[in-house]
Amino acid sequence: MNEKIKKMRIPIEVNQLVKNQTDHGISCAPVSNDDYSNLLAKVPGPKGSPYEGGVFEIKICFGTQYPFQPPTFKFSTPIYHPNIDNSGKICLDLLRMPPTGSYNPAITLESMLLSIQLLLASPNPDDPLNSEAADLYKTNIEQFNIKTRELLQKGHSNQKNFI
């Protein structure tokens, strides 16, 4: 039953996300044709943040229990952020099951990706996956922004997705 729900729901959610792309700039597509179990999203860095000008690729994997379990999200573009570790794993309440998180089956793919984009603009240094980035963010925001921009430019210099 879950597999049937998953196969029906994910294409609808991807189409809705694409329909609203002009509002948020986020794009998303299956990694391989017609297999909606693995998606690749491109999330632009929010304006006014040190990530502005970058486009971040995020791999999304929908398990067999979706939508009753959240998909997994992983940055494939290098990023320096308090809530994203060096492997690309994301620490975000909305992407975790209760009681430690707030995920529920009514949350859409678009909502999850918008929350990730918002996390780029508003890190939560009190719940870090990257403690070095969290400490720098708390103690020297200017240096954090410089380091973030340097990595952004370095990571995007060989890619077409740096604007």
Beta bridge pairs of residue 72: 61
φ and ψ at 38, to 5 degrees?
-130, 120
- Mean pLDDT, rounded, for 52-66: 96
**Alpha carbon 153 to its chain's center:** 19
For the ranges 7-11, 69-73, 104-108, which has the lowest average pLDDT?
Answer: 7-11
Q: Which one from 10, 39, 91, 114 is the annotated catalytic residue?
A: 91
For the ranges 53-57, 88-92, 138-142, 156-160, which has the lowest average pLDDT?
Answer: 156-160
- pLDDT of 160 strictly over 70: no
State the pTM of this model. 0.92
CB 138 within 8 A of CB 126: no
pLDDT of residue 143: 98
**Alpha carbon 82 to its chain's center:** 13
Q: Percent of the chain at pLDDT above 90? A: 85
Joined together, the tokens standing for residue 113 give 């990706």
Q: Any idea which architecture 2-156 has in CATH?
A: Roll (3.10)
- Mean pLDDT, rounded, for 114-136: 98
Joined together, the tokens standing for residue 44 give 């632009």
CB 117 within 8 A of CB 20: no
* pLDDT band with cut points at 50, 70 and 90 for residue 159: low
Task: Quick: pLDDT tens for 3-26.
Answer: 888 889 999 999 999 999 999 999
91 part of the active site: yes
Q: Where are the domains of the chain?
A: 2-156
Residues 6+ apart with CB under 8 A from 51: 45, 79, 120, 121, 148, 152
